[in-house]
Amino acid sequence: MSAYPFAEIEKKWQRIWDEKKLFQTDISDADNKLYVLVMFPYPSGDRLHIGHWYNFGPTDTWARYKRMLGYNVFEPFGYDAFGLPAENYAIKMGVHPADSTAENIKKFREQMKAIGAMYDFSKEVNTSDPEYYKWTQWFFLMLFKNGLAYRKKAPVNWCPSCETVLANEQVHDGHCERCDTEVTKKDLAQWFFKITDYAEKLLEGHDRVNWPEKTITMQKNWIGRSEGAQINFTVADSQDTIQVFTTRPDTLWGVTYMVLAPEHPLVEKLVTDEQRKAVNDYVEQSRRVSDIDRTSTERVKTGVFLGAYAINPVNSEQVPIWIADYVLLTYGTGCVMAVPAHDTRDFAFATKYDLPIREVISPNGQPSGELQEAFTNVGVMINSGIFNGTRSDEGIGKVIAHLAEKGIGESKINYKLRDWLISRQRYWGAPIPVVYCDKCGIVALKEDDLPVLLPRDVVFKKGGESPLKSNPNFLNTTCPDCGGPAKREVDTMDTFVCSSWYYLRYPNHNLKTAAFDKETVNKWLPVDQYIGGAEHATMHLLYARFFTKVLYDLGFINFDEPFKNLFHQGVITREGNKMSKSRGNVVSPDKFIVDYGSDTFRMYMMFMGNYADGGDWSDDGIVGIDRFTNRVWRLMEMLQENPPSGNESEKSKELERVRHYTTKMVTNDLDRFNFNTAISRLMEMVNTIYSYVQDVPSNEQNKLVVSDAAETLLLLLAPFAPHLAEELWARTGHGDSIFNASWPIFDDMKTMKNTYQCVVQINGKVRANIEMEFDQPDVIVLETVLADERVIRHVDGKQILKKIVVKNKLVNLVVK
RNA sequence: GCGAGAGUGGCGGAACUGGCAGACGCGCUAGACUUAGGAUCUAGUACCUCCGGGUGUGGGGGUUCGACUCCCCCCUCUCGCACCA
């Protein structure tokens, strides 16, 4: 008997699959289509890491299973090839990003083939290819034409290390999502996509997708819809009005001061001469405070009086206007009406600066005297003019109606979601297809002018300006409208723009005339199963939905959600810790592929734990799977050397039952991505076949049952260990690929034993196990149970108070 | 601080709508085969035990004939959000 020669066999089948184009999907045939997609990776110079494998391996297992079920599976692969690492590498090592990226992709592809996945490599996409980014630019123009792309000057997030601006989503806890450097603010004119126009549609669509609840919640929180009112306060002795957004218009009579964000444009206008110095100092100081500090809830609130007063529109009271950095310019109107009695933040501020606190919502309708803290619950309105006595939750709507009638306010829905900042001051991205003309201003290029090619010749240097500016041939151009001299936009697009539509490109990756073919994508999309990390919840997954919805609204496609089903694989840890370069605990797959082969490696990853939870890597654990694959190999060898030739029917019954039972369990487990338990079931099946073959001489072994079990085993194993199963399939005389064979079916009746072990409990404690026929009347069951000597021992001399019989399962006797 | 999820042998992890806790694997113990074993095969393996049994799913209470599973309180860990007016 031999050891499984995985190295040679894996290579052999990868070659044959490739030659036979076994996994090239026929896109023209969309009947029974199944689009299975993994989030495409950035092709870094490092080798494939364990996270890649953990995303790709199990997904491929699932895709192969679906193929065997008869689906026309499309499992494409590509490269999210634009991005900072290549450019940083160019600065450091002098290698052009185009060259290093091409090199990396080549290496990546080789490694990807070693996984032995079912990818249709003939339909690869590469976002840095002009044939691809031409269409990324087309998307920009499409959004621009429809008023969904605009340029504006704004204080934006700036990463000093990456030397570029970042979208809000890319700032985590005030730090750069990519390099963890603390993010600062910069005033820059930048391009934005108007994703806020789609806030409502992005929320609505959540009901129509099968996504992890947690991811949907994250998107909902990120979009942050809140209902309330917009109310106008006039400024005393001035023409100016201050608009505020509030979710509590019912507390309007409790306003004792107003607060503007320090950066608010009105600050400069409203500040009085006496207060000017104090205000300027404060504004200056708050600019220096980082966002993390500024948004820390623990921080003591600070602020300065502007010197001006606002007039409360409902009672004409004059209230002082302050500025304070706990008010954010970017949310709502950048101004708040402060109601210290009913808002914890305003309460803290008012207490500190000795501002009046006026109760207008009371728990019982009576004044409560001096408040010790803000009362934020529902209560009864008091000190509120005509609304006195109204329940505060009902008051919200009534006050809004009242304000609307008087023309001083209206109902309003606000979102936390901000527009998506897409410009980046970097080279290695898709150029934004716009020019600046002295005469015509901002001019978008015509579709015929695309692609705007990235020039090869630029100076890579640090400094916070796009390297594209260094190439005069690129920079200087002519205006497509007037033909006069113009300068090109030198910023490039956020790589999330490239990845917002790649799933549309795969089915028609070669199309020259458009980004995608309407008919093709309408047939093949939405993606049936999308699998990737949870970290993209509020970035890629939100942007891609936005793109899809825009295309739908403009009539390009007939679906408005790109990913029907979404699954997030968990994270692999090492001794309970997250793997990271800085911890130095990263497990490289390479050594294990060499020692055990890719089938064993991928199967061990699936066996470690539940796919959604991830698992803890152990160098020792993989030997269990290695033994298993070898055990399968030896078992099949044994059956070939000593073929069963009898028709024994006693012991084979259990083997037959296990064959059906395993099929049922593995099928159910695969449907739910429960790879770990599916593999356990396969191990049990192998153990059962083994025992049978060892217990019964080959000339008695039931030839039909054994060959059915062995064949079923290979079919069930195929998605998990594709190379091994394919080889054994060929060795057992099959001419065609196992992946053209059908998934085995099971007979539910045959998964069950003839008898069951009836559990007998006495006072809830298990005292006996009695073998029993199914479906017997309770009386008979009890009779049998009470006759058992182990039961008698515990019941003797006692009174039976209660007899509980759970059919075909258990008996519980309550005795005293 | 708020929200969500989790806590099970020496280890990774199983357990469907409440019904034999610990499937499967690692490790460990003993045996078989071997010149050899880091190969393979067989058996055992939660803990305690006076061998009758007793105790066990983070801790404490509760519901139930019966709780890893449901309810309440507390502890720990992970993730997400974090002055959003």
Tokens of A656: 């037959």
Q: Tell me the C-alpha distance between A374 and A391, whole Å.
A: 17
Q: Give the per-residue pLDDT at A330.
A: 85
Q: Which nucleotide is nearest to A570 (CA to C1')?
A: B79
Give the Å distances, CA to CA, from A741 to A16, A709, A730, A732.
17, 16, 12, 14
Q: What is the pLDDT of residues A382-403, one digit of tens each?
A: 999 999 999 999 999 999 999 9
Q: Tell me the C-alpha distance between A123 and A53, whole Å.
A: 20
Q: Give the per-residue pLDDT at A814.
A: 87
- For chain A, the average pLDDT equals 91
Specify the range with the lowest mean pLDDT, choosing from A299-303, A385-389, A487-491.
A299-303
Q: Which nucleotide is nearest to A326 (CA to C1')?
A: B83
Query: Is residue A91 scored above 90 in pLDDT?
Result: no
Tokens of A281: 């100092």
Q: Give the per-residue pLDDT at A164.
A: 80
Tell me the CA–C1' distance in angstroms for A629 and B40.
14
Tell me the CA–C1' distance in angstroms for A575 and B10.
15
Closest amino acid to nucleotide B52 (CA–C1'): A793
Q: Which nucleotide is nearest to A333 (CA to C1')?
A: B85
Beta-carbon count within 10 A of A769 CB:
13
Beta-bridged to residue A184, according to DSSP, are A158
Q: What is the DSSP letter of A83?
A: S
Closest amino acid to nucleotide B5 (CA–C1'): A214
Q: Determine the residue type at A254.
A: G
Q: How confident is the model at residue A770 (pLDDT cuts 50, 70, 90)?
A: confident
Tell me the CA–C1' distance in angstroms for A610 and B15.
14
Q: Tell me the C-alpha distance between A78 and A112, whole Å.
A: 11
Q: What is the pLDDT of residues A532-559, one digit of tens each?
A: 999 899 999 999 999 999 999 999 999 9
Closest amino acid to nucleotide B41 (CA–C1'): A694
Tell me the CA–C1' distance in angstroms for A54 and B9.
28
Instruction: Report chain B positions within 7 A of protein CB atoms.
Output: 1, 3-4, 11-15, 19-21, 23-27, 39-42, 53-55, 65-67, 79-85
Q: Give the per-residue pLDDT at A292.
A: 65
Tokens of A57: 């391996």
Closest amino acid to nucleotide B26 (CA–C1'): A621
Tokens of A412: 């309003």
Query: Is residue A762 scored above 70 in pLDDT?
Result: yes
**Helix, coil or strand: residue A317:** coil
Q: Tell me the C-alpha distance between A514 and A508, whole Å.
A: 9
Q: Which nucleotide is nearest to A302 (CA to C1')?
A: B83
Tell me the CA–C1' distance in angstroms for A649 and B34.
36
Query: Is residue A188 scored above 70 in pLDDT?
Result: yes
Helix axes A6-20, A97-115, angle to 10 degrees: 110
CA–CA–CA angle A393, A395, A399 (5° rounding): 140
Q: What is the pLDDT of residues A707-741, one digit of tens each?
A: 999 999 999 999 999 999 999 999 999 999 999 99
Query: Is residue A586 scored above 90 in pLDDT?
Result: no
Q: Give the per-residue pLDDT at A291.
A: 67
Q: Which nucleotide is nearest to A293 (CA to C1')?
A: B83
What is this structure's pTM?
0.93
Q: Tell me the C-alpha distance between A541 and A496, whole Å.
A: 10
Q: Tell me the C-alpha distance between A33 and A27, whole Å.
A: 9
Q: Tell me the C-alpha distance between A209 and A696, whole Å.
A: 53
Cβ atoms of A311 and A234 within 8 Å: the answer is yes
Q: Give the per-residue pLDDT at A92.
A: 85
Q: Give the per-residue pLDDT at A223.
A: 94
Higher-confidence residue of A142 and A754: namely A142
- CB-neighbour burial class of residue A546 (10 A; exposed 0-12, middle 13-18, buried 19+): buried
Span A594-607, average pLDDT: 94
**Residue count (chain A):** 816
Cβ atoms of A62 and A673 within 8 Å: the answer is yes
Predicted complex ipTM? 0.94
Tell me the CA–C1' distance in angstroms for A768 and B47.
21
Tell whether omega for the bond before A262 is within 30 degrees of 0, i.e. cis.
Answer: no
Closest amino acid to nucleotide B42 (CA–C1'): A691
Tell me the CA–C1' distance in angstroms for A23 and B24.
32
Q: How confident is the model at residue A45 (pLDDT cuts 50, 70, 90)?
A: confident
Specify the range with the lowest mean pLDDT, choosing from A629-638, A775-784, A788-797.
A788-797
Q: How confident is the model at residue A656 (pLDDT cuts 50, 70, 90)?
A: very high
Span A660-679, average pLDDT: 95
Span A73-84, average pLDDT: 94
Q: What is the pLDDT of residues A264-290, one digit of tens each?
A: 999 999 999 999 999 999 998 887 776
Higher-confidence residue of A160 and A306: namely A306
Span A329-333, average pLDDT: 89
Closest amino acid to nucleotide B24 (CA–C1'): A680
